[in-house]
């Protein structure tokens, strides 16, 4: 009986995959990682900002360690 309840409720859900495929396969000149809309654009920008900031922070730390090592020798 649990199986029947699950299958009947699952049938009511609409399959959204074809709609998503149309959006992501559209030839509109946008890269695939931002075709999903505003949320995708914001997530992409946040990711790039954090990546660049992290790389800059790592570069500063490495530079500081190298300078300290050069002074101590």
Q: Per-domain residue ranges for the chain?
A: 16-71
The tens digit of pLDDT for each residue in 3-50 reads 555 555 556 788 899 999 999 999 999 999 899 999 999 999 999 999
- Give the residue from 49, 23, 18 showing the smallest Cα distance to 34: 23
Residue 3 confidence (pLDDT): 58
pTM of the model: 0.63
Q: What's the pLDDT band for 69 if we cut at 50, 70, 90?
A: confident
Q: What is the pLDDT of residue 17?
A: 92
Assign 29 to helix, strand or coil. coil
Name the token pair of 34. Answer: 């931002």
Dihedral over alpha carbons 27, 30, 34, 38 (to 10 degrees): -100
Q: What is the pLDDT of residue 53?
A: 98
What pLDDT, on a 0 to 100 scale, did the predictor assign at position 14?
85
34 within 8 A of 44, measured Cβ to Cβ: yes
CA–CA dist 4, 42 (Å, integer): 41
């Amino acid at each position: 009986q649990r199986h029947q309840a699950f299958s009947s409720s699952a049938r009511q859900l609409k399959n959204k995959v074809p709609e998503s495929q149309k959006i992501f396969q559209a030839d509109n000149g946008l890269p695939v990682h931002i075709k999903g809309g505003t949320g995708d654009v914001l997530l992409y920008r946040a990711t790039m900002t954090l990546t660049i900031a992290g790389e800059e922070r790592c570069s500063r730390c490495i530079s500081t360690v190298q300078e300290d090592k050069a002074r101590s020798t």
